[in-house]
Structure 1
Amino acid sequence: MKYWLLKSEPDVFSYSHLSAAPERRTVWDGVRNYQARNLLRDAVSVNDYAFFYHSSCKEPAIAGICRIVRTGLADPSQFNAQSPYFDPKSDPANPRWITVEVEAVQALPRPLTLKEMRQDSALQEMALLNRARLSVQPVSNTEWRHILQQAGLSAANISRFN
């Protein structure tokens, strides 16, 4: 099992939106960076967990936890001419943009802010703090457990995610 951080602008799609989605699931569409796409295509697996991170907002923070439920999906927004993520060069027979489906697992007891993470010496090597541009980023096992602890999850809840 691997751990990830998925970024979304909360005014576009927040953790609350995911929690309210049918079956608490959605396709993670709109990723238009090749490195992030490659992670979604080649590295993210079913049953991996991810932090749902609210970015580009007043207080960027990790808001919740989601689980990868399907992989290897063609991002449907690349074929929708009405979508801001439409890609006229993408071919349905050989899609350029691959994505995953995620399911809401639980909101964090308290969101862990970017400011708090930057001040935490245990997280100084975290991709978010060093290569923050990607919308899909790996999270180490140590970082994962530490963030869950800092966000107020009990030891019993933390062990659910191993």
Structure 2
Amino acid sequence: MSTHLTAQELRRKWKAANAEPVDGSRRLDAYRELAECCPAFVPNLLSLSRTSLLGREQAPEPAARVDEAERALRTAVDVSAGAPEPLIELGRFLAMARTSPVDAEAAFASAASAALSLLEEAWAGWIHALGQQDKLDAALEVADQARRILPDSAAISRAVDEAQRRASR
């Protein structure tokens, strides 16, 4: 039966890997070891991908390092359920390492869509939290900012309506 690392252990091992020297293989090996131990730890997968690409020209098999970077990125995108950061990293990789602007465009478009949805949720939550504190003016300022980017957002409109109802009590 396998045991899983705790969140604290994952962060500790990842920070230790980050502290390894970039030159040589110790940092890359540490990221690889952590990826084997926990293949769903996205920060490590992103670090593994970046580090795989560093110094690839001097590696015995440069193409294998590029393939490793891509596998790590695609796994990060998959396990993060399409979160923006791994998609952005994948887009950069596809544009630069694979010189595939069509595939990069798709990754960046997905990242932008995911980021916009996340931003909408954050703004609506922020407006709601301000409304709960009876900070209507601040909530309306945030709403103005949010509506410049997302003028038709139902979530932001609902949060504003709730803040205004609360203030009118």
**What band does the TM-score fall into relative to the shorter chain?**
under 0.3
- Bigger Rg over Cα: 2
User: With structure 1 as the length reference, what TM-score do the two structures score?
Assistant: 0.25
More strand as a share of residues? 1
Name which structure has the greater RCO, CA cutoff 8 Å, separation 6+.
Answer: 1
More helix as a share of residues? 2
User: With structure 2 as the length reference, what TM-score do the two structures score?
Assistant: 0.24
